[in-house]
Amino acid sequence: DAGVIQSPRHEVTEMGQEVTLRCKPISGHNSLFWYRQTMMRGLELLIYFNNNVPIDDSGMPEDRFSAKMPNASFSTLKIQPSEPRDSAVYFCASSLRGKGLVTFGSGTRLTVV
């Protein structure tokens, strides 16, 4: 099993640009999560999906952030326009609902200058 795959690993962009982060969950997992990690705030849940449907997006900081899951094997997190305060490590994670075991990807380190 290749685990949760995220791309890109690193992203440096200028303020105002659109950023798209990508995630491929573990095959067979039906829950997918997007987290953001910073030194100040730790690991925060942004949004999670069950069976490709967004269930809770209360952690999405503002309208500049959007997430989609068009099918069971792919999800995107988009920031438009990006701001320096969005700089963080963004993690995608997946699980098999009901089993309670969440597996994380290696993360995308985003720097907005």
Partner 1 sequence: QKEVEQDPGPLSVPEGAIVSLNCTYSNSAFQYFMWYRQYSRKGPELLMYTYSSGNKEDGRFTAQVDKSSKYISLFIRDSQPSDSATYLCACGSNFGNEKLTFGTGTRLTIIP
Residues that bind partner 1 (CB under 8 A): 4, 31, 33, 41-45, 48, 56, 91, 93, 95, 97-107, 109
5 or 81: CB nearest partner 1: 5
- Nearest approach in angstroms of CB 16 to partner 1 is 27
- Nearest approach in angstroms of CB 106 to partner 1 is 5
- Nearest approach in angstroms of CB 51 to partner 1 is 13
48 or 65: CB nearest partner 1: 48
34 or 65: CB nearest partner 1: 34
In three-state secondary structure terms, 68 is: strand
